[in-house]
Amino acid sequence: MTLPPEDLEELQYAKALLENPSLAAKIAHAVGAPIEKGMQLLPASASEVINHSTRAALDKALQLAITSLDDRHVRPSSNFLHKMIVAGTGAGGGAFGLAGLPVELPISTLVMLRSIADVARSEGELIRSPEAKLACIEVFALGGQSKSDDATETGYFAVRAALQRVVSDAARYISERGLAQKGAPVIVRLITQVASRFGIVVSEKVAAQAVPIIGAAGGAIVNWLFIDHYQDIARGHFIIRRLERSHSPDVIRDVYKTL
């Protein structure tokens, strides 16, 4: 089956956003320093701090998604406003380095979630549904490659397929019980799977901010690129979900692979 020309064009645009260069490549291009330098400067405790901060940030984001995201204020997404806010938190985080991450990352992640929901609403998502709320959380997993991924598991649809069961289980659980039991195994599995990918991108962000030439001003630039990366992923993700509502998801996946 072929898509109408306008839908095919939108699908091609979505694929360009979703298969775009990594955040590390964008940061290296912007600041003129490879991420590897920053990785070498991080202390041995960095991995533990990043893992803890990433899971805490996603936990807070999930709570916000379930309790307060709704369908009001449907309008074009306010990408620039959210970028300005996250750039501000990045300036503060850049000044304090790794020590500031447990404070800065949850704030940045919540603002990014609001921006992702903004994008979702602008593409016709009904944010009041658990499925749409979790599709917003899913964006954090789509922007980075997990260390456990192999060459067959890195594409957009491959990652969605890997997350499908846990996202579906979490949506059903939340529909029936909400988030009353915060440590429920199905919720823990969701956070763990998303964190495994989101944490890779957070590591790239932290490594860039560890380069001495970066500092507070560079921290703002890094965070600007950080949210810009996820705004692009969100736009591509929700364009595809919108096209899947108009056509068969199998058709969209098959045409996507041929582009």
Say which residue, 238 or 179, is predicted with more confidence: 238
Q: What is the DSSP letter of 98?
A: G
To the nearest whole number, what is the mean pLDDT of the chain?
Answer: 84
The pLDDT assigned to 132 comes to: 92
Residue 170 and residue 106 in contact, taking contact as beta carbons nearer than 8 Å: no
Does the structure show a pLDDT above 70 at 94? Answer: no
Residues 6+ apart with CB under 8 A from 229: 23, 26, 143, 201
The pLDDT assigned to 205 comes to: 85
Does the structure show a pLDDT above 80 at 71? Answer: no
Report, as an integer, the average pLDDT of 168-185.
82
State pTM to two decimals.
Answer: 0.88
For the purposes of burial, counting CB atoms within 10 Å of the CB of 44, is it exposed (0-12), middle (13-18) or buried (19 or more)? exposed
Residues 6+ apart with CB under 8 A from 184: 173, 177
CA 61 to chain centre: 11
Report, as an integer, the average pLDDT of 10-19.
94
**Percent of the chain scoring above 90 in pLDDT:** 47
The pLDDT assigned to 37 comes to: 72
Residue 23 and residue 205 in contact, taking contact as beta carbons nearer than 8 Å: yes
Does the structure show a pLDDT above 90 at 16? Answer: yes
Q: What is the DSSP letter of 21?
A: P
Does the structure show a pLDDT above 70 at 78? Answer: yes
Does the structure show a pLDDT above 70 at 216? Answer: no
Report, as an integer, the average pLDDT of 42-70.
89
Structure confidence at residue 180 as a pLDDT band (50, 70, 90) = low
Which of 11-25, 151-165, 187-201 ranks highest by mean pLDDT?
A: 187-201
The pLDDT assigned to 48 comes to: 93
**Tens-digit pLDDT profile for residues 129-151:** 889 999 999 999 998 765 555 44
